[in-house]
Amino acid sequence: MYGVFELRGKKVSPKLAARAGVSPELTVIGRTADRRTIVAGGNKFDATSMSLFPGYLLPTRQGQTVSEIVAKISATKSVDSECQNEADLLQELSGRAGFPAVVHRGQAAVRYDDRPSFLSATKNVSRQAPFFIMPRIGGLDLDLFRLKQSDPAEASRKKLALITGQLMPALADRVVELHERNIVHRDIKPNNVLYDPAANILTVLDFGRAARLDAVEARTDHGAFPYVPPELMLETPDREDVRVDVFGFGATYYTLLTGRLGLEYEGVGNIWRLTGLDLMFISQEEVVKRFCREQLQLGTLGYAALVERIKMPNELKQSELGKYLVRLVHPIKTERPASMGEVAETIKRLGAQFNQGSSL
């Protein structure tokens, strides 16, 4: 879908906006069970799956306060079920620390320009789209904690201690909890995890690709490359598998410790340096699949070959932690650990050992 995606409907009344201290340009999209008014605003461009709109819950009774929220709205009819599925899964996690809470579900009037392909005519669509709202979650996404060569030595040591001692152990525990509750996230990556240093809380976001582990049919979509394993890019899965999250977790850990945007191996084409202009003339999907096939070929040479070829600092590569990360992102699914509980225990132990002796 291309073009503007916008909310339609009445604007919040000037009187209520003034009393709440918000912009009168915000759009009313619904009311909660306790009669608070839900307002959101802003237009989105090129929305393809879900559109996020910042907003507020406005008080209508004495004693209520203004609350910041985020409204997640289905961008097209084709992903309405995805929106509903995400809300269902989050409601199952209601009240559990480290996951977004669903405050309200409903339908909102939206308008957008629908153009399925470059060859299709643009069609203006107005409809009622499903949405849900969540409290605004503070924090920084994990990508901001990547170790970089430009980091001063002291800053690098502090980052390393935070990554190995807090961030990744906490993320492992969150994923373990999901699996124990029969949910696989399927899109674990740095940008889907927020850490709030002030509150010392790590939150896993974006369950748009998540599924129940006992689903009769496995989902055929996937999360963001390079945090999805080769089998999701090259095959049609017959069932959901926790090892998808094991790979995403390992690739995220790799990114934080190496500063690289994705897995890199000696002798395998580095697709991360392709420019937008390059991708105009070649199929991005085919480039990704070629990279995955090369990973699989490398995986057939054995675990030792992967350790030798993966690009990471020598100190990390020679450590037990580095070698274990290679196991987590093994291109061949059956070579990865099949229990996130095992992964959590192991990375806590190896992370502590590595942090104590590292000079990274």
Read off the CATH number of the domain in which 35 is found. Answer: 3.30.200
247 & 335 share domain: yes
| Average pLDDT score over residue span 154-158 | 87
Comparing 318 with 281, the larger pLDDT belongs to: 318
Comparing 162 with 224, the larger pLDDT belongs to: 162
pLDDT band at 156 (very low <50, low <70, confident <90, very high): confident
Residue 63 has pLDDT above 80, yes or no: no
What is the pTM (predicted TM-score) of this model? 0.91
Q: Which of 37, 32, 12, 31 is nearest to 22 (CA)?
A: 12
Out of 135, 150, 184, a domain closes at 135
202 & 110 share domain: no
| Average pLDDT score over residue span 218-225 | 86
145 & 129 share domain: no
pLDDT at 286: 79
pLDDT at 324: 97
User: Residue 187 burial by CB count (10 A; 0-12/13-18/19+): exposed, middle or buried?
Assistant: buried
How many Cα neighbours within 13 Å face the side chain of 122? 9
| Average pLDDT score over residue span 13-23 | 92
324 & 206 share domain: yes
Task: Provide the b/e sequence for 253-278 (b: ≥16 CB within 10 Å).
Answer: bbbbbbebebbbbeebeebeeeeeee
Q: CATH number for the domain including 208?
A: 1.10.510.10
| DSSP 8-state class, residue 222 | -
Lowest mean pLDDT among 1-5, 72-76, 191-195, 200-204: 1-5
100 & 189 share domain: no
Domain of residue 260 covers 140-357
| For helices 243-258 and 340-357, angle between their N-to-C axes, nearest 10 degrees | 10
pLDDT at 210: 96
Total of domains in the chain: 2
145 & 204 share domain: yes
Out of 84, 113, 135, a domain closes at 135
310 & 239 share domain: yes
Residue 274 has pLDDT above 80, yes or no: no
303 & 183 share domain: yes
Q: Which long-range contacts (CB under 8 A, 24 or more apart) does 221-224 make?
A: 222/186, 222/187, 223/186, 223/187, 223/188, 223/189, 223/248, 224/187, 224/189, 224/191
| Average pLDDT score over residue span 337-345 | 97
Main-chain dihedrals φ then ψ at residue 211, nearest 5 degrees: -150, 165
115 & 156 share domain: no
Comparing 334 with 274, the larger pLDDT belongs to: 334
Helix H segments across the chain?
A: 14-20, 80-92, 153-162, 168-180, 230-234, 243-258, 276-281, 284-299, 303-309, 314-318, 320-328, 340-357
Lowest mean pLDDT among 47-51, 82-86, 173-177, 246-250: 47-51
8 Å CB contact between 115 and 145: no
- CA 131 from chain centre, in angstroms, equals 18
Mean per-residue pLDDT of the chain: 89
User: Residue 282 burial by CB count (10 A; 0-12/13-18/19+): exposed, middle or buried?
Assistant: exposed
pLDDT at 334: 96
| Average pLDDT score over residue span 129-142 | 95
Percentage of the chain exceeding pLDDT 90? 66
Residue 188 has pLDDT above 60, yes or no: yes
131 & 188 share domain: no
